[in-house]
A and B are shown apart, each in its own frame.
Chain A
Amino acid sequence: MDKHPEVLLELNAVETWHGSLRALSDVSLTVPEGSITVILGNNGAGKSTLLNTILGVLEGQPKNGQISFQGTRIDRMATERIVRSGISYVPEGRRIFSELTVWENLKVGAYVQKDQLSTKKALERVCDFFPLLAERQSQAAGTLSGGEQQMLAIGRALMNGPRLLLLDEPSLGLAPILVRQVFDIISQIRDEGVTVLLVEQNARMALAVADEGLVLDSGELVVAGSASDLVDNAEVEELYMGAPSLPIK
């Protein structure tokens, strides 16, 4: 699309295996800079695997194919280096450090920041997004509510000043009002210039904020297009938006 001409992330024929099981086959996609791209699909379709593959968390994966970020190959790079190059990740289940304080969690998120000043700037920005985290900074993260933990997980991911933010099911387990809030924040993050790649089961909500949409089915990319096209796509509608709650195979 001409609104977002630059490609930030590109996957080319990516193939990932879980042991003897092929979890992703021949996945090629592009994520335009400054967009929100949502990946839809049922449980087990390979959505989380896709994010984990991009971040290099899975040992020896992808088995085949290339991943480039800002024109540089990142498949085969160590996760730490990929994060350092500007990709942040909010994992499924948030995985905050529950025994550490809110501030310490954010400090870990800023691990790749080179100096105190950029850490301080990132912190100010995160506190603008989430004033609540500033209030609770010396509280143990494990004592936060589910919604607050999700805010912390997103805040932590923003601490390294990423260009691309990967989010795995940020709405999972949250009350509807909080879901709306999380998606508002995701739009704001995009408006500040961070590209977002989002995995969601809450298709209706996700497509409402997204620019681009992709559908994964059994590890294969079956539909790709603009978010508005996907909303109108009858097949997608039937598969992923039929029931207001989550369709599970």
Chain B
Amino acid sequence: MKKDKRLYWKLFTSTFYLSAFTFGGGFVIVPLMKKKFVDNLKWIEDEEMLNLTAIAQSSPGAVAVNASILLGYKIAGILGSLCCILGTILPPFLILSVISIFYSAFKDNSTIQILLKGFQSGVAAVIADVVIQMGGDIIKHKSIMSILIMAFSFIATYFLNINVIYVLLASAVVGGLTFLYNIRCSTKKGNESEAQI
């Protein structure tokens, strides 16, 4: 029992530490988690970590939170999962609570306003860069369907003010149906070639 308590504490402190010092979100923190829990502590296998990452990235929500839930559960069950979630969300929670209080107090200061205004140009540039990178990847694959979905979702939300959630639901359905259609085509082809033999 005493050993268990230490394990939970160790899970909490490890995830807390990782979360507090990782800037840049899920795609940065997951490799660091692997380093900590697979390479250093050897609490789970490499293969398990790969499966866990695949699930964390396929599931909605923040990748870092998803990965910590799975990791905690694999190592120490539901309680372990809770320790990891707390460890992951407490650092940003504490930091943003403090910033939120100061933001209201500072944002009317004229120097801060100029600084924030300058940041905004930077944010716009960073997002534009992300869009061009991700959009470029999609165009490169030359799937007409993907390009149409991308264009449609921009037009639907920016010009037609359609709710983002409906656009996502519609594209999930299109993606799922395309997948099922492709499977049907490939099994049909498989059957035909079997029949020929």
Co-assembled chains A and B: no
Chain B residues within 8 Å of A, Cβ to Cβ: none
Chain A residues within 8 Å of B, Cβ to Cβ: none
